[in-house]
Every structure is written in structure tokens, then in C-alpha cells.
A and B are shown apart, each in its own frame.
Chain A
Amino acid sequence: MGEILLQLKGISKHYGENQVLNDVSFEVEKGQIVSLLGENGAGKSTLMNILFGMPVIHSTGGFSGEIFLEGERVDISSPVKAMELGIGMVHQEFMLIPGYSVAENIKLNREVLKDNVVSRILGKDYKTLDIKKMNSDARIALDKLDVGIEEYTKVEGLPVGYMQFIEIAREIDKKNVRLLVFDEPTAVLTESEAENLIKAMRVITESGISIIFITHRLDEVISCTEQVTILRDGALVANKKTSETNIVELAELMVGRKIESLKNSEENRAMEMNDVILSMKNYKVGMPGELVKGIDLNVHRGEILGIGGLAGQGKIGIANGIMGLYPASGEVLFNGKPLNLNKPIESLKRKLAFVSEDRKGVGLLLDEGIDINITVTSIQVNNRFLKKYGFFSQLDLGTIRNYADDMIKMFDIRCTGPDQKTRRLSGGNQQKVCLARAITLEPEILLVSEPTRGIDIGAKKLVLDALIDLNRNKNMTIIMTSSELGELRSICDRVAIVSEGKLAGILKPNDSDAKYGLMMSGKTDIPKEVV
């Protein structure tokens, strides 16, 4: 048992009504690599924000619990304070300036300065940069990591793999650093680069620095950490020694059982699995942050297909690409005929409808009434709800209003009337308006992204029930993308798991937690004991 460096005791945090962390405690020993594991929304980033004294924590009422650093209670009130205490962070998105040299990036805002005539009179701001010393310091840090790049080359144009190392070099160049947090550092790296990184992490710990390693790649957790802490829904699930656990157990603990009791009647409907309505081949989408890097996937007529996976892995990109909202490539057949990608109007005309995950940005005209919101796409695409006079046409307001009234009844939208501005509606009701608009197009396939994000539990159930109803009674094929596995498993016939822009596999709703957990962390070769 080594010396304890960091100790978190009983950390709890609320965002308003929402408890995001509940009595979490864990310890990090000196020179140890500890992995923090959990799904999206498990509370990992909140915990790290607390550790860094981020303003978002303190502006929302602070947190309860205590933090000890080498046995001493510390109050981390700001990122600067965290830095002073020797806590460093290697960011997931690179904090590098492309136009600067490697050394300049490593020494960003910690430049080595030397005096000159002017600075002696006017102060620190006028000191000259000591480029030579900066370069040699950077060299030392880079050598420690065994990275072969020249310190004076510009970051611009370097391979992504190196950028991570520059970030790390920046942290270890800070003289007092005691604890480093790596936030999903291997997510953007190739396998060999990731191996190098893990090697570098070992080198760092040898000098007594501890590392908190946030990742979702379970095999990396097993191979390089000594201790694993698993969070789920804001609570601590387990603190385990890595040597005493295995990949399957970790996957199980991470996902946990949380299937809602919504389950749609008949287990595993007998599906006709040969009538393909939509097929994707080598399908790629350039949606920033949600890249799809080549997927082959068939969607069957009449099914509800779920698309799951961790955030940033590309699941969101699939539906957005099909609707032409982000540049996409590859072969997509709809009803046997190729779908012209990158043209939203074509997708809409061919009877594909989309309920976007970005409700307020893409989904709604916030300052228009419910009636216009429900009908606007049909007006544009199908020329419905219009009165025609030769070359001119006019909105048929009467029909629109009546139609909106019907929809409000059908979906039970709580509002003051069809002309109420959608900005004033609650999240759940806004979502229903989006759904109503999508089905007004009478689509063959309904694509729904994150349908229950940010809405309360009651409304969640209504939305999911509505989806099942559309599927069963109107024969709509539904592709539902969601971060909530429980939700997917409760209404879908099949669940496709996307990891790192690729299809990891397709699972049945009643497959085991461990299987889901392993696939989400990118393992396609499931160990036998799980199956």
C-alpha cells in the first residue's frame, strides 16, 4: 500500500433538482494509474469539473464533500488554484495552437522570459521571450516521453497522434504537477499510438505522478491501470483492484440493469427479416464530433431499429447524414433505389422524416405557433395546406388550424391553443410537436434522435408509447438513436451499437448487460463466457 495522494470523500452534487453525484468517494495512490469508468451521464465529467474547480460547479451552488491532497484538506475554488496545487489535465479536444511551434505550445502562457532594457522600467509584460530556453525545456519534456518530434516544428500538419503527446509534455513540464487527468486520451488515436501513449503514462508514473485515466476501452483499463472506479447514474458502483477483476465484470458493472418497465408486450416479435427497406454500404458522415467512418447496415420494413453507443462515437451522425444535414458518402438504397445523399429535399420527398436531437436548433421554429410548426415541412415539401390561385398560392389557415387541433388531441400536447409559440412549451410537449410534424409527412421511415433527452419521466413514457403506436398501427419503420440503453432495449426490435464510427454489432434487446457494455467499449470479439 503506497502513500495516498488524492482522497475524495462523500462528494455529492446537484444541478437544480437533478442529483448528478451521490456520495462518491475514492482514493488515488502516489504513482498509480486509476481508471474512472462509466457511461455518458454517469457523473465522470462532473467529478472532474469539481476536481478542477471549474466555474460551472461554483456557479450552480458548489458541491458537498471533501477533497484531500496528501492528507491535507484543500479547497479548489478555481482552475488556477487547481493548477497551483499540481493538478493537470490532458484535454480530449486538443488545446493546441496550430500556428505555433511545439515548444511554444508546451510553454503556452508559461513562456520563459528574460529581462531587457524596457522591461526593467515597464515590467513583466515587456520581457523578451527566451526561445532558446523554451526549446530546451520542451526538449526535456519530449525526451521524457520518448517522442521524436523536433521542438521547433509547427504543430500544424503534425499527425493527430503527436498532438496528444504535446499536450502531455505541456503538463509534465509544469514543475509541481502531482496528478494528471487524461480525459479519453485514446479515443482519437490508432492502436499503435494508443500503445505508445500507455507506455508514456507508465513513464510518467515512475516519477511519482499519479494519473486518473478516463476511458471507455475496457481492455486498456485492464492492461494499464492498478485500480478501477466505476460510476453509474452519479453513484459509486465499485472500487476494484484491476488484478482482481476482468473485462466482463467491468462491462456488467458499467451498464447495469436499468430497463424500464415499458417493455412492449410481445417479447421478440416474429419479424420478417428479409424485406430490406433501407440499406447502407460503406456509409460515411462528416458530422463534427460524431463522425461515421464506414457502416454497413440494413433496416427491415416494419421494425424499430435502435442505434446506441457512447457520445461522440458516431451514432448521431447516421440519421443526420441520411437526411442530408451533414456531408455524407457511400451507397444508401431506399426501397431498392439509391438515395441521393447531401440533399435534404430529396430525403424528405422520398418519405423519410426526421426528429432531430437538436430540438431547439434544427427541430422547431421557436417563435412560430404549434400549427405552423407541425405543417411547415409538408407545406414546403408536398405543397399541402395550400390554396392555389394560378401562379400564386396562399396558406390554407383553416385547414392548418383544424389539422393542428387534431394533432394536439392525438399526441395530448399541453398548450393554450394551436397558435401558442413553441418556445413557451415544455420540453416534452416540444418533442411531441416535432413528432407530429414528422408524421404529417406520412413517412415510410421515421428517424428519431434522442427523443427523450431533457424531458421528464412522464413525458418520456408518452413519447415512447407514441413511437410504438406509430410502428404498430401505422406501419412506420422507425430508426431510433438514443444514448439511453434502457430506452432502446425497451422498445426496439434490434439494437445496433456504434463504436468509433463503425458498427460494433447488432444485439437483441434481451441480451446481457455485459454484452452491451463490451460492444459499447468497442470490443467486437465477445468472450465465450458472456454468450
Chain B
Amino acid sequence: MMSQKIKNLLVKNVVTIVFVLLCIFGIIASEQPLPFIVKELITRIGRNSFLVLSLIIPVIAGMGLNFGITIGAMAAQIVMIFAISYGATGFSGLILCIILSTPLAALFGYITGRVLNKTIGQEMITSMIMGFFANGLYQLLFLFLVGTMLPIGNENFLIPGGVGIVNTIDLKDNVMYAVDSVWTIKLPYFLGIFGVLGAIGTGYMANKHKKSENKILRSRLYFYLGLCLSTIVFAVVIQSTVNLYKNFEIPMVTFAFIAIIGAFNILIFKTKMGHDFRTVGQDKHIAHVSGINVEKRRILSIMISTILAAWGQIIFLQNLGTLNTYGSHVQISTFAIAALLIGGASVSKATVGQALLGVILFHTLFIVSPMAGKNLFGNAQVGEYFRTFIAYGVIGLSLGLHAWKTFKAQQQKDKVDII
């Protein structure tokens, strides 16, 4: 009984477990100093989490992994290029970008949602192809229309000859770190604050549910409480000893954004709208029969996802510091989806925790794989291949597993029916 439970647990989380092991192995093989990895990781968490979180709502609404977040990213880049060319700088400039990109992303999301409603059951491949198609229009805009029909505020953004936008736009002098640098604090303080707030929160909840029947919830709360307390201890240890960690800066505003969106993704499912998303995701037919406007809900879920992706891309770019006009958006959906899946999500189930865990694992692997490749095979390129291989491999694996599980469940059902 117990061993069966453990076996089930292992099978259920096999992807995540494999990646945890791969990360540990990679860290050892790369021979990189741990502080370096941690520092890189903090940057990458801030940079990528937002995009990964934008995937959750469509998954719950039964539309699978939204490869169409690329389209949201394009909306963000269109707004950023124009806004920056007209002189938007700093934090206020970036907020302007976020505000302006919202209606554009909403429009794109609406169109995507309409198309996806016509291709029920094929949402993932459709959203992916929509992304490719949108990329064509995007190139038309920036390679041909800008400079001929559309004005641009800064001549330096144009390819010599006056038509089309240059390949890379440097954000160093305008919006780079605009969000990250608003307010930063040192890592031990961050951990300390995080631990104390977390401990108070979970402690309160644990006290409230002290007499609750729900044993799983209670033990989970105690687990979180323990985690928060050990975080505090850890923070104190870092602060009081000599090491590199205590000087790491945490971009508080970026992390706050991520926290808000994480909370949004949790809280929305406690509202009528979110509950409808879940209902639609569980069974479209029943939702329809009980009077829910299924098509409207599906469109809405894609719109939210696209808008969040646009915001996520803005945060991503301000941290990266260069905008690759024709490349920055291309791979974000693949990488974001791979990260989500590594965290243990599937085509039909995803949580905020899985998203964050996935970001940590996926990017740890990203950081260590070139050096690990070099050390093991004498060639850093092998590591590069490896991480591309992982990104696509994990998506393929997850889709395959999903199909297999659905098939097995159906088979099980048929068997039960006969007997």
C-alpha cells in the first residue's frame, strides 16, 4: 500500500524528478562556483517567471499550452520599438509601454481566441501556427511598412536606406533595468522578509485550520511553515558569515510583479470567472448545457494570457538590455512552455508552484550546461545543443505522455464497462 503510493508519486512526477537529478549532475559537472549559479539564477527568475505564469489560465480552461504567447510578445515589441523611438525612457517609459501594449495584446488575443474557437481540440497546433503567421505580418510591419508608410521617432532605428527597422535595438540608454533597479535589497534581507511574512501567513492559516478535517491541507501548511522558518534561519546564517551571497541584489519591483501575477493566477480561480474557466476546461459540453457561454470564456482566457505575455516580454527585455527585432519573441513560447512542463505541469493541469519550480530547474540547466558540456566533452557547443534538445524534448515528451495517459484512462474505462 505504502510502496504503491510512493510508486504512484514517483511516476506522477517523473519529469520533475529527472530534471532535479539532471540539475544536480549538471552543477557538479560544470564545476562552476555555486554563488555564480545562484546569482545568474536570480536574474533569470526575474526575467522569465512572468512569461511562464502567463500560460496557466489557458491550461486550466482546457485549451492546452498556449503557444500563442509569441503573439503577445510581438505586441509588446511593437509598442516598445515605437515608444522608445519617440523617447520613452526609464521606469515611467516602461510603464507607458505596459499600458499601451495592453489594448494591442487584448486585440491580438481576441483574434487568436476566435480562431481557436473554430479549431476546438487542435488549440496547441493552431496557436503555434498562428504565431508563425503573426510573425510574417510582424516582419512585414518592421521590414517594409516602417519608414515607408509609418513614421518612426528615431532615424537611428532604421536600416540605412530608410526602410525597415534595424536588427538589434540597444536598450541600455533608455529602459534597461528600468523595473529591476527601482528598488533592490540584499539577498539575506529579502530571504528574511520573505520568511517572516510567509511564516506569519501560514501560521495564521494553520491556526485557523487547526480543527479542520482536511489532514492533507494541514500537513501541507505545517510543511510550508517549516520551510519559511528554515528560510529565516538560512538568511541569518548568510548574513552573519563571510560569503558572496550576502551582496546579491534582489530586484524587488520585478519580484513584486511576479508575486502579484502569481496571486492573480490563484485568486482568479476563486471567482465566478475563474470557476467558469475551470468548468469549461473540465467539460465544454456540460458547461454549455448549464448555460455558460463557453466560446466567450475561451476567448477571455486567451486574451488574459496574451496580455500577460506582452507584459512578461517587456519585463524580459528590460532585463536583457537588447531588443532583437526579429528574434526576441520567436522562441519564448517554446522555452516558457518547456519550463512549465519541467515543473510538473501537463497539458491539462498547471499551478503557480509548478511554473516557478520549472523556471528554477530549466534555467539552472541553461546556466550550467555549456560548462558541463565543455568539461565532459571538451566542447561548450555540446551543452548548447543539449539545452535546445531539452526544451523541445520535454515538450514532445509531455505531449506524448498526455496522449498515452488519455489512452490508458480510456482503455481502463472500457475494461470497467465490460466487467
Contacts and interface: CB of A to CB of B under 8 A. Distances in A.
Interface of A: 79-80, 83, 91, 95-100, 104, 108-111, 113, 119, 124-129, 284-286, 288, 291, 327-329
Chain B interface secondary structure, helix, strand, loop or mixed?
Answer: helix
Contacts of A125: 271-273
B289 A126 contact: no
B272 A124 contact: yes
B414 A126 contact: no
A341 to B, nearest CB: 11
Interface string B405-419: 000000000110111
Interface of B: 270-273, 275-276, 279, 282-283, 286-287, 289-292, 414-415, 417-419
Contacts of A80: 291
Given A80-B291, A95-B289, A100-B282, A111 B272 contact: yes
A109 B291 contact: yes
A129 B271 contact: yes
Contacts of B417: 286, 288, 291
A129 B270 contact: yes
B292 A109 contact: yes
Contacts of A96: 286
A170 to B, nearest CB: 9
Given A95-B290, A129-B271, 8 more contacts: A79-B289, A95-B286, A95-B289, A100-B282, A125-B271, A129-B270, A129-B275, A284-B419
A115 B419 CA distance: 49
A286 B415 contact: yes
A284 B419 CA distance: 8
A108 B279 contact: yes
Contact of A97 (B270, B272, B282, B414): B282
B418 A109 contact: no
A242 to B, nearest CB: 32
B213 to A, nearest CB: 9
Contacts of A83: 291
A372 to B, nearest CB: 31
Given A97-B283, A126-B271, A327 B290 contact: no
Instruction: Please list the 10 inter-chain residue pairs (A to B) with the smallest Cβ-Cβ separation, ordered nearest first.
Output: A286-B418, A109-B290, A125-B273, A97-B282, A286-B414, A108-B290, A286-B417, A95-B286, A284-B418, A109-B291
A285 B418 contact: yes
B271 A109 contact: no
A127 B267 CA distance: 11
Contacts of A129: 270-272, 275
Given A97-B279, A97-B282, A128-B270, A327 B414 contact: yes
A285 B279 CA distance: 32
Nearest to B414: A286
Contacts of A110: 290
A91 B276 CA distance: 21
A91 B292 CA distance: 17
Contacts of B283: 97
A91 B286 CA distance: 11
B410 to A, nearest CB: 10
A126 B273 contact: yes
Contacts of A91: 289
A128 B271 contact: yes
Contacts of B292: 109
A4 to B, nearest CB: 29
A389 B354 CA distance: 61
14 contacts: A79-B289, A83-B291, A91-B289, A95-B290, A100-B282, A108-B279, A110-B290, A124-B272, A129-B275, A286-B417, A286-B418, A291-B417, A327-B415, A328-B418
Nearest to B416: A286
Given A119-B271, A125-B273, A109 B287 contact: yes
Contacts of A286: 414-415, 417-418
Contacts of A98: 282
Contacts of B275: 104, 111, 129
Contacts of A285: 418
Given A97-B282, A108-B286, A109-B291, A291 B418 contact: yes
The interface centre, meaning the residue of A109, A127, A288, A329 with most chain B CB atoms within 10 A of its CB, is A109
Contacts of A104: 275
B173 to A, nearest CB: 38
B48 to A, nearest CB: 27
Contacts of B419: 284
B97 to A, nearest CB: 24
Contacts of A113: 272
B154 to A, nearest CB: 38
A113 B270 CA distance: 10
Given A97-B282, A329-B418, A127 B291 contact: no
A79 B291 CA distance: 9
A92 to B, nearest CB: 13
Nearest to A330: B418
Contact of A99 (B271, B282, B418): B282
A291 B419 CA distance: 10
A15 to B, nearest CB: 22
Contacts of A284: 418-419
B414 A109 contact: no
Residue picked from B271, B276, B282, B283, most chain A C-beta under 10 Å: B271
A200 to B, nearest CB: 21
Nearest to A126: B271
B377 to A, nearest CB: 46
A284 B418 CA distance: 6
Contacts of A111: 272, 275
B189 to A, nearest CB: 30
A184 to B, nearest CB: 17
Contacts of B276: 109
Contacts of A288: 414, 417
A130 B162 CA distance: 60
A127 B418 contact: no
A119 B279 CA distance: 20
A79 B414 CA distance: 33
A103 to B, nearest CB: 12
B415 A109 contact: no
A111 B291 CA distance: 12
